[in-house]
Structure 1
C-alpha cells in the first residue's frame, strides 16, 4: 500500500500543478519561453541533484558545470549530491512530495516508468530546438525516457552496455578464440576451467544482467506490468546458465570464490571471462595494471546480437519555478559540448553518437564493443513494477543456480509471489 499511496499523492500534486499552469491557457509555453533572468534581471539559481560518483567523475561534472556557467553568466547551478545511489530515489521522492524537489535531477531508466506515470516530471519536447539534434542520441537510450503519451521526459547523459571481458593470457594458453555465439562460449568456458582454481565464466545471477538472455527464446519476463518469467521459453533460455554452474562446473558467481563482483574475479585470475560494463575498464586498469585483458561484443544468441544497456537521464521537476534556466542546463549537459567534457575520460560513455565518434570510443580497442552494443541493446527497464519483479526473480534464481531446486519450480514460485505483491500495492 505504501507504493500506491506515494503514487496517489504525487499524482494529485501533478494534477493540481497542471491546473494552475494551464489556468490561463498556454501557461507551460510561456514558462518555456520566458527570459531566464525573469523581470528582475537577477541571476537565477538552478538546483541539480544526483548521487555521488568517484572523485574523477565528480571533478568532470564540476568542470562541465563551470563551463556552463561561463556561457550562461545569468544562471548559477547549485549542485546537490544527495546520497549514494541505493538511497537516492527514496530521498528524491520524499523531496518531491514535500514540494522541495530539485529543478533538475538524475533519473535511472529502471525507475523512469513509475516516476513518469505520477506526472511529476516536465515534458521536455516543447523546449527542444533543431540545433539540439535529437537524432544524434542512441535510439534505445532515448526511448527509455519516453512516456506512454509519447512525450520525452529526460535526455540520457551517459550509459554502459555489457561486453565480454577476457584474460588474454589464459585464452592464449588454452589455445581458444573469443567466442562468437553462446554455444561457443560454453565450450570455451570448459576449456578455460582449471578445477576450482580458475573458472571459465564469472556469472552475476541477477535479472539486471540476464534479462536479454531470458527473452532470447521468445518468452517475456514482464507482461502487462506483471511477472511472466515462469514461461517455459524463459526457463529454456536461462537453463544453460544453470547447467554451466552445476553440470559443466565452468561458471561461478563472485561470492563463491571470495570476490565481490565480476571485475574483481577477472583481475584476481579466478575467472577467465566475465560479462561487465564500461565501469570495469578503469577499475581493471587501476587495480590490476599488469592484467592483459580484452573486450568483445557479447556472443550472439539464436543468431542475433544482444546485450543490456544501463542509462541515466537528466529530468526536470514539473514544479520548478525556473524551467527555462533548467532547460538551458539540461540542454548543455546533454548537448554535444557538455557531454564531451563529462565523458572525456572514458568513465562514462556518451549517449550521442557524434560525441562517441569524436572521442574515438567507437574505435577504441576496449570500448568499441560497448559502443557497438548501444544500437541493439535491451535497456534495463520494463514498466513501473520491475523493482518488485526483479527482487522476486533474483531470490529464486540464485536458489536454482546453487542447485537447491529446479529452475522451473523456482521461477514459478517467484512469479506467483511477485504478482501477489503487485496486486496488493
Structure 2
C-alpha cells in the first residue's frame, strides 16, 4: 500500500479539468477510439500504468494481459511501470494531457483525485454480466463518490493477527479473541528478549482500533482523533509499550517492519496483512505461525482494508477499449489469474471461494475481514490528518507526553492546515 501525502496546489483541479476538456474531443470521424478502428483494421492501443511488484506479480499481470489480448484482438495493451513517485508522475501526466488510459489508483489517493474530475465514471459501461454485486462491498464503495463509480478494485488486503504457534504453546496461551485477552496474552509472551506484540504506531494500522468504541477519527472532513472515544480506544497501545512493557515497534529491536520482527522471533504476535505471508515463506520459512481475525473490541469485529482499483482517464480517446481492459482485469476470469498465487487477494467473493482463500489456513482470517473492514480511505484530507497523527502519536508511544495531550496538539495542527488549504 502506497501512503503518500497528496500534494495539493492552488488551481490543480481547474488545470486537470482543462486537460480533460482539451483531450475529450472525438476524432473527426466521431469514433471514440481514435487510434485504431474497425475501418483501419488495426487494434486500438490502450496504455496501462501501474507501480510494478515482485517478479511473480509482474509475471501474473503479463499473463492476464496476454489472455485479454487473445480474447480481444481489436485491443493492444501497452503496459508501463512507474516505479518511483507514482502519484506525482500520474498527476503530472494528467495535467499535461499525457496520462495513461487506464491506471492503478490506491483507495487512499482516490477521494482527492476523483474530486479533480479527471476520472471517467464507469457506471454507463457496466453490463449485467459484469456482476458488480460480487465485489466485497466496502472495497467497491471506496471508489464510489456522489453515487458514481470511478474504479473497480483489483485486489486488497485486510489486517489479521499473526501469532507464533510455538511461543503461544510454550506460554500456555490461547489465541486471543478479544482485545482484553490480547493484552493479557502479550504479558505472558514477553520474556527472554521477546515482546508479546510487535506494533506499528501509525494511523494506517491504528485506525480500526481508534474507531472501535464508536469514535470518529475523521468527522466532517476534519481531524477528530482527540475525541475522548478515540483517545480511550488507543490508550491501551500506549500502555502496552510504556506500562506493561509488552509491545515494541520493529526499529526498537533492529527490525524494519512487522513481518521482520515477527520472523526474527523478536515478537510473538504482530498485526499484518496478506503481504506478510509470501515474505515469511521466502525469508523465514521455518517459522510456524497462524493467523486469526483481529481481537474484538466490545464484542465487535473490525479491521482495516487496503485496496487498489483500475480507473479510466477521463481524457482518454479510447474509452470503449479501456473499459474492455478494465472489465477483464477486474472480471472473474482475469482476477482469478491475477490472484492465483496468493500474492494479492481477490476483491470478488466468487473468486476467493473458487481459489479456496476463504478456507485457506493462513488467508481465511484475512478474507473474513473484507466484509466488515474499514477501507484506508477517508476523504480528501486524510493525508494531512495522517501526517499530524503519526508525528504526535509516536511521541506518546515513546513516553514523551500523555496521549490526550499529544493528540489534541496534532488535531489542532491538522485542522489548521485543512482550513488554510
In the TM superposition, residue 421 of structure 1 has moved relative to its aligned partner by: 1.2
Q: Distance in 2 between matches of 1:2 and 1:121?
A: 17
Aligned equivalent of 2:3: none
Q: Distance in 1 between matches of 2:63 and 2:17?
A: 36
Aligned equivalent of 2:140: 142
In the TM superposition, residue 2 of structure 1 has moved relative to its aligned partner by: 4.9
Comparing 337-346 with 216-225, greater Cα deviation is found at 216-225
Aligned equivalent of 1:184: 181
In the TM superposition, residue 171 of structure 1 has moved relative to its aligned partner by: 0.6
8 Å CA contact 1:36, 1:325 repeated in 2: no
Aligned equivalent of 2:104: 106
Residue 83 of structure 2 is aligned to residue 47 of structure 1: no
Q: Which has the higher helix share?
A: 1
* Structure 1 vs Structure 2 CA RMSD: 1.7
Q: Distance in 2 between matches of 1:117 and 1:311?
A: 19
Structure 1 unaligned spans of 5+: 22-26
Counterparts of residues 2-401 of structure 1 (less than 5 Å): 2-14=8-20, 31=32, 37-84=37-84, 87-147=85-145, 149-194=146-191, 197-401=193-397
Per-residue CA deviations over 1:340-399 (Å, capped at 9, x if unaligned) read 000000000000000000000001000000000000000001000101110010000000
In the TM superposition, residue 312 of structure 1 has moved relative to its aligned partner by: 0.1
Equivalent pairs counted in the alignment come to 412
Alpha-carbon distance change, 176 to 65 in structure 1, aligned in 2, over 3 angstroms:
same
8 Å CA contact 2:20, 2:97 repeated in 1: no
8 Å CA contact 2:69, 2:77 repeated in 1: yes
8 Å CA contact 1:246, 1:402 repeated in 2: yes
Q: Distance in 2 between matches of 1:8 and 1:389?
A: 24
Q: Distance in 1 between matches of 2:14 and 2:384?
A: 18
In the TM superposition, residue 35 of structure 1 has moved relative to its aligned partner by: 12
SS at match of 2:215: coil
Q: Distance in 2 between matches of 1:125 and 1:294?
A: 40
In the TM superposition, residue 199 of structure 1 has moved relative to its aligned partner by: 0.2
In the TM superposition, residue 311 of structure 1 has moved relative to its aligned partner by: 0.2
In the TM superposition, residue 273 of structure 1 has moved relative to its aligned partner by: 0.2
Q: TM-score, normalised by structure 2?
A: 0.95
SS at match of 1:156: strand
Q: Distance in 2 between matches of 1:36 and 1:116?
A: 29
Structure 2 unaligned spans of 5+: 1-6
In the TM superposition, residue 83 of structure 1 has moved relative to its aligned partner by: 1.8
SS at match of 1:255: helix
